[in-house]
Amino acid sequence: MNEMMHPYAEHKDPSYENFKATCPICGALNIFNRATDLGDLGLISFRTVSCLNSKCGQKFNINGDLASPDYQMFIMQCYGLKESKQYMFCILVLAQAFELFFSSYLYKVLVLKPVKDIPDPQKWDDLNILESELYEKTEKLAYQKLRNIFLNLVTQGLSPMKPDDASSIIQMIPSMCSDPSNATVDAYQDNDIRSLLHSLKNSRIANLRNKVVHRQGYRPRLDEVEKALLETRHIIFGLDSCLRTRWQA
What pLDDT, in 10s, does the model give residues 180-231? 999 999 999 999 999 999 999 999 999 999 999 987 789 999 999 999 999 9
Query: Distance (Å, rounded) from C-alpha 38 to C-alpha 193?
Result: 39
- Assess whether 75 and 54 both reside in one domain: no
Asked whether 211 and 204 are in contact (CB, 8 A), the reply is: no
For residue 233, what are the CA distances in angstroms to 19, 49, 203? 22, 33, 12
Let me know whether 128 and 211 are in one domain: yes
Is pLDDT of 6 > 70? yes
Phi, psi of 77 (to 5 degrees): -60, -30
Domain extent, residue 19, equals 3-62
Domain boundary among 14, 38, 62: 62
Going by the DSSP 8-state scheme, the letter that residue 173 receives in this structure is: G
Residue 141: predicted pLDDT: 94
**183 and 132 fall within a common domain:** yes
d(CA 44, CA 31): 15
Express each pLDDT in 51-91 by its tens digit.
Answer: 999 999 999 999 988 777 889 989 988 998 999 999 999 99
Phi, psi of 25 (to 5 degrees): -100, -50
**Residue 246 and residue 51: Cα distance in Å, rounded?**
44
Domain count, the chain: 2
Same structural domain for residues 89 and 205?
Answer: yes
| Residues 112 and 203 occupy one common structural domain | yes
Q: Are the beta carbons of 162 and 110 closer than 8 angstroms?
A: no
Residues 98, 191, single domain; the answer is: yes
User: Same domain for 94 and 214?
Assistant: yes
Same domain, 126 and 91: yes
- Asked whether 199 and 234 are in contact (CB, 8 A), the reply is yes
| Domain identity same for 157 and 81 | yes
